[in-house]
Chain A
Amino acid sequence: MPELPVSLARMSWNKTGSWRSSTPGHRGKLPPCNFNCPAGENIRGYLDLMKKDQIAEAFELLTQKNPLPAVCGRVCYHPCQTDCNRHSFDTELQIRAVEMLIGDWGVQNKLRVRLPETGAKKVAVIGAGPAGLAAAHYLRRDGVNVVMYDENHHPGGILHYGIPTYRLDKEILQAELKRVLDGVDFKANMRLGSDFDLGTLNHFDAVFLATGAHVSKSMRIDGGDLAGVESGLDFLKRVNSGQKVRLDNKQVVVIGGGNTACDVARTAYRLGAGVTVAYRRTENEMPAFAEEVEQLKAEPIELEFLVAPARIQQETDGRLKVICHRMELGEPDPDGRRRPMVIDGTDFTMTADVVFAAIGEDPDLDIAPGLTYASDGTLDLSQIDQRIRDKLFLGGDILPNPRTVPHAVASGRVAAEEIAAFLKGVPYERPEKPAEMAGPEDINFSYFARINIAKRAASSDGTEGVLDEAGAIDEANRCMSCGVCFECDTCYDFCPDLAIVRTPGGYQANLDYCKGCGICARECPSGTLGMQGGQVA
């Protein structure tokens, strides 16, 4: 003992963790963008890399889940932005524009994936749409020999033949496809069911069937088979194939309210036609993505809601009379949308030169004899030769998936993983999605600066949804990293007990000293940290 009261040691023997009645830990919630991305992209991850001005790394991370960022950056309906927590703060992040910028950067820099040597395994991919492309690409990246068959001349499927060029530039598409199909043996103009059949594929170790859904539903009305009444999708295919289609001064009626109807209407308008879209419900029920509806409405195209064609007659001058019912909405259907009901005595006539039906598409079952639907909407494969069936994998719109490009991409990528496991003889487990996404209540908005939305709009170069690299970095800087630690040091800084320890990629509570005050969780900007009851040793 010293002569005077002078300290001899420090306080760290005093383990104040014993005071604790609740303990900080990771909530494990997903960012809404990641949570909602059908393609399974780590959006938060590549935004973070963009923040750090690491576009090459961002491209790499992005294309680990989606090989088509330049495409999806243009055509995806961006559900990533729907629940963006900035939405309730200022305005959601323009994630799709960032994705496009990253994708275009990859195209401009002619990036190629470093491919491994192929091994002995061989997989046939049938259908070069988004699902087939993704499957082929990821299988090839895994060292598998891939032979891809498609009935068309160009790969891309709906991307090439369905989506109009004003939405997806063909050069960009082809550049991106070139990279995606690097190392893949693409066989064009090979239609399954006519040029070859499944039986000829027996020498493959696995077969991936992704032939999509491109058979237009029939209207099943009188006059539905008249000349001048066409499938909207076929029309798009003809235009996208480079055929000269002229509709100058023609009157066109498009029947339907989905994305195809929108594309058909807008394409016809661009070819010189006067266009009317007739949909049997209201705008609210339109299955097309809201953005496409907005774009449709922005053009001089007439929209007739609550209208359904009853029959079509050909006039002597060759023009078509479309006799329509007026409709009203009744009780909801099983899918939740209110059923349209005919209002008697309200029939009226629209005159048209061409009628495009765009009321939905079905998979083409003629590709294999005996292929039918099961009662649950999936395909019944029981009639397929067992030798093929045992190694047959399906993906894309042929399955009852939501028919979007990112869903198809994900379906192809997951199939690739599944096939890879199958080839290795190991069981495949689909990764489980965490149950929760981080919502606005999880975010501490105090840590984020609001942007001046008016100012931002004024400074854009005028092209909607397009960002340059600096703009993409600015945008990425707005990301709040919802639910994911971004190493901001807030928890570390505010701990009165210095009981937050920096660890590689994040933080951990030092339970020897953590008193459980909860400041770290309350302040955590991204809502990563939460408090759990109890002392938790």
Chain B
Amino acid sequence: MNRVMSGNEAVSQAVKLSRVQVISAYPITPQTSISEKLSEICGSGEMDAKFVKVESEHSAMATLIGASSTGVRTFTATSSQGLALMQELLFWVSGARLPVVMVNVNRAMAAPWTIWCDQTDSVSQRDTGWLQFYCWSNQEILDSVICAFKIAEELLIPCMVCHDGFFISHTHEVIDIPEQEQVDTFLSPRKAEYKLDTSDPRTFSGGTMPNMFMEFRYKVQAAFERAQGVIDQTYKQFAQTFGRDYRAVEAYYADDAEILLIASGSAASTVYHTVRQMRESGRKVGLLRLRQLRPLPVEGVLNHLTNEATIAVIDRNLSPGTGGVFTQELRAALHRNGEDCCIHEFVAGLGGRDITAADIEKICDDLDNKTADPAGINWVGLNR
């Protein structure tokens, strides 16, 4: 069924279709409408879930730690400061191997105060042991959330589905909402091998000595190494069920591109449209859209690298002292894979500043003219 709805509402629909049993969230702009919509559909009985209305994001995640440990399916959503407040527990969730799914509506981190979009909030959580997905459309949000439960529960690794505050969260699009029966065939109820069960009393996440701790971390790492296979398999099943095909890295005009731009989130859609326009004027520009930060889809990137292309990453985030996180991650990963290519780094759109078609064209011009710094940060639209 096609309906027009915002990115945040798509989240709510996905949560409902995934038959989540316990939700806990704390409102924060621009996530708020997710909390509101879920409250509504839980309150009306449209969805059989318990929405625990907590007093902070830390408590939201703590609530889900408790709930998920009983074996039920759980969900939360947050943004920015809220995500940061959760951070302690993000580690906890992944270490405890709880398949919590969270939507993070990307918003820059204060100070100074801002409510607008960038990805620094979520990329800075890349070490917490969560899978991270980045969406560029409302349909993709809905589909990704449903997939996230399947992936998380298969791997026992929590999933974070990210989309850009306002640019996507508050933008309305037509999306196809699948039938519940269809979703049910794709996503079966969670089956937890270990849970808080009085007939099988066990203690969860108790003290662990140096002789064991590394082994648990190794198991998490192994799950991450297995993750791409599980994700790809999930997409395959998803395509079979719903007819929509996803992959970790989506390539547009990449094969013969002389300039290959790498982007994620809503910025990628601006790049996509700009690239199409530039192609019309004959410039050989292409796009790789990264849909994941964790696991970093290295293979998907490698598949599209050519010797001819100049590569540039547009990062809507900043790790001060280093630069854009996607850039750093890709440079490290490609180097590890024996690729010696130069990756240009463009930091753009922090704190909600638009990344416009003109910005993209300027990036391409700078790359063509070799005026872009191949080593340092190229700040897009910065007034020094």
Residues of chain A at the chain B interface (Cβ within 8 Å): 1-8
Contact = CB atoms under 8 A, between A and B. Distances in A.
Contacts of A8: 202
A7 B219 CA distance: 16
A7 B208 contact: no
Contacts of B202: 6-8
A41 to B, nearest CB: 52
B156 A5 contact: no
A4 B96 contact: yes
Contacts of A7: 202-204, 206
A8 B203 CA distance: 8
Contacts of B193: 3
Contacts of A2: 194
A4 B194 contact: yes
B205 interface: yes
Contact of A3 (B156, B204, B208): B156
B92 to A, nearest CB: 11
Given A2-B194, A3-B193, 14 more contacts: A1-B212, A1-B215, A3-B97, A3-B156, A3-B219, A4-B156, A4-B194, A4-B204, A5-B95, A5-B96, A6-B202, A6-B203, A7-B204, A8-B202
B317 to A, nearest CB: 31
Contacts of A6: 194, 202-204
Nearest to B200: A6
A386 B242 CA distance: 121
Contacts of A5: 95-96, 204-206, 208, 216
Contacts of B215: 1
Main secondary structure of the interface of B (DSSP, over half): loop
B97 to A, nearest CB: 4
A1 B97 CA distance: 14
Contacts of A1: 212, 215, 219
A4 B97 contact: yes
A535 to B, nearest CB: 26
Nearest to B192: A4
Contacts of B205: 5
Contacts of A4: 96-97, 156, 194, 204, 216
Nearest to B223: A3
A242 to B, nearest CB: 82
A233 to B, nearest CB: 80
Interface string B205-239: 11010001001100100000000000000000000
Nearest to B208: A5
Nearest to A8: B202
A18 B156 CA distance: 40
Contacts of A3: 97, 156, 193, 219
20 contacts: A1-B212, A2-B194, A3-B97, A3-B156, A3-B193, A3-B219, A4-B97, A4-B156, A4-B204, A4-B216, A5-B204, A5-B205, A5-B206, A5-B216, A6-B203, A6-B204, A7-B202, A7-B204, A7-B206, A8-B202
B168 to A, nearest CB: 34
A72 to B, nearest CB: 60
B329 to A, nearest CB: 26
Interface string B188-202: 000001100000001
A4 B203 CA distance: 11
Going nearest first, the 7 A-B pairs with the smallest beta carbon separation are A4-B97, A7-B203, A6-B194, A6-B202, A7-B202, A5-B205, A6-B204
Interface string B32-44: 0000000000000
A7 B196 CA distance: 12
Nearest to A1: B215
A377 B108 CA distance: 108
A7 B207 CA distance: 10
A491 to B, nearest CB: 28
A438 to B, nearest CB: 44
A509 B106 CA distance: 61
A443 to B, nearest CB: 42
Q: Which of A1, A5, A6, A8 has the most CB of B within 10 A?
A: A5
A53 to B, nearest CB: 42
A7 to B, nearest CB: 4
Contacts of B96: 4-5
A3 B223 CA distance: 10
A75 B384 CA distance: 113
A259 to B, nearest CB: 71
B96 to A, nearest CB: 6
A230 B73 CA distance: 107
A4 to B, nearest CB: 4
A6 B204 CA distance: 5
A212 B216 CA distance: 89
